[in-house]
Structure 1
């Protein structure tokens, strides 16, 4: 009952910020459209049989060979741009959630283990993390993706490597503070196993800041995927990700065919900004010092 009250209070406080509440609705709507893309998209951009080259680069509102209206136009391959954006959001969301989730687990384990074990192990691990954080994430992801080649799994591995250090640094800071508290010393004196102390006592108390970082890093992973795909080292051209859609239409901007790049760019920006606004509000509510 107490947890229900806390959750209800959290939602009420969240809804008081109209900007964050609107951003949460936008995120929920985009996620729902991405999940239901095969059902709501007018066209399957993966089905080559549905692509007609003479319908390529058509303006918004064009009635295609299939008889339906391309409300956002078509891209350079004749794909319905609205359908490609919906499938692109689906791909970008999958990449962001998978890469962010795996990086979350790895970073939490590394950070908590370093704080709990301490000594030389902590010093070596955190120096490696600090060294990695001194480089821009896009640079690390670009180098790893270039070495591994194009593909979903290769790009996911590059994103994980570029992001786990953020979680490790956050987990280490939170776990270090918890490690010095009396209840941890009491748990060790019983004695409980080290794994049980870390998983049941230290890690749960380190989760709030990790959740905030996770929200931001999912948005960052989506932006990184789009950037790498735009630069040609991410997903292959056959994947209608948002980054590839923007890259495919970039060469046509000066010729007046703006919709091929602009509409996927607007969808990408709207999704990332909304995720960041939701993450900022969660951070403010979980940190008493930031509450008004």
Structure 2
């Protein structure tokens, strides 16, 4: 009987029942839908995702010149106008959405794959291992994120892949810190001692019981990190350390058009700028909405 009770304590913290486990995402979604700002953010992201998918179906190639005259203003034929090479800016902006979304996903994926294990191991093991790993994270956090990303991208060499890696590395300490603090709190819970009492190894407790309970803050940080990744990657491309011309990347497009603002060809920079702003705003609004939904303290205070 005691063994059964302990086993229940160890496993019950993770999921009380299949019905409850299945209802949690549904409840979270219902609460998120009620958040109007989060739905506005979701609408922005859905629009850019659809645009990225249909970009390849449009009659013009994002890199082909001569789609129209050079520097044509927005018109019925070219809704966003054309650039200095006669390329259709609407097609390039939509194609840039595909690049930016993939850049954000890959960069955040790198941060997750490295940062979560570092934070989990440091928080659970403690001791010298924790001290060394977290001091390394503190050193990385001490640098301004954009400056650190610039240094990494410059060391790797200009290119979109370099920008993805640089942005991903810069995001590692944030995820490590979040998971570290969550793990340190969770390792003192009764279900951890219960797991050890029934013979579960520390690795099993960490992977199956502790890490799943850190998903909520990780999800919020990943959503907010998407916006940051898009902005930082565009910044690197703008200064020549990320994607290179003629790649239809938003930062590249703004860089190409900055010399034409004074002469009145505003559309070369305004439309890519709007794309960056709305995509970042979209992910930030979704992230804020998720934080309100997944944090019980914020939910009960409303």
Question: Partner of 1:212 in structure 2?
Answer: 220
CA–CA distance in 1 between the matches of 2:112 and 2:138? 17
- What is the deviation of 1:199? 1.1
Choose between structure 1 and 2 for higher RCO, CA contacts under 8 A separated by at least 6 residues: 2
TM-score (norm 2): 0.89
| Conserved 8 A contact 1:107-1:167 | yes
The aligned length equals 282
1:56 matched to 2:70? The reply is yes
Structure 1 counterpart of 2:60: 43
Tell me the C-alpha RMSD between the 2 structures.
1.5
Task: Point out where structure 1 has 5 or more consecutive residues left out of the alignment.
Answer: 63-68
Q: Gaps (5+ residues) in structure 2? A: 1-18
Deviations 1:221-252 (A, max 9, x none): 00001011011111111211000011110110
Q: Which residue of 2 aligns with 1:66?
A: none
What TM-score comes out, normalization by structure 1 length?
Answer: 0.92
Other-structure match for 1:285 = 293
- 8 Å CA contact 2:28–2:294 kept in 1: the answer is no
Task: Give per-residue Cα distances to partners, 1:158-207, cap 9 Å, x unaligned.
Answer: 11111111100101011111111111122123222332211101100011
Q: Distance in 2 between matches of 1:42 and 1:257?
A: 23
* Distance apart, 1:54 and its partner CA: 7.0
User: 1-side partners of 2:21 and 2:194: how far apart?
Assistant: 25
**Could you tell me how far 1:281 is from its partner in structure 2?**
0.7
Question: For the residues of structure 1 that align with 2:106 and 2:182, how far apart are their CA atoms?
Answer: 24
Cα distance, 1:53 vs structure 2: 8.4
Contact residue 116 and residue 179 of structure 1 kept, 8 A: yes
Distance in 1 of aligned mates of 2:195 and 2:21 = 24
TM alignment of 1:20-169, pairs within 5 A: 20-39=38-57, 41-46=58-63, 48=64, 51-52=65-66, 55-61=69-75, 69-169=77-177
> Hey, which bits of structure 1, 4+ residues long, moved more than 4 A?
none
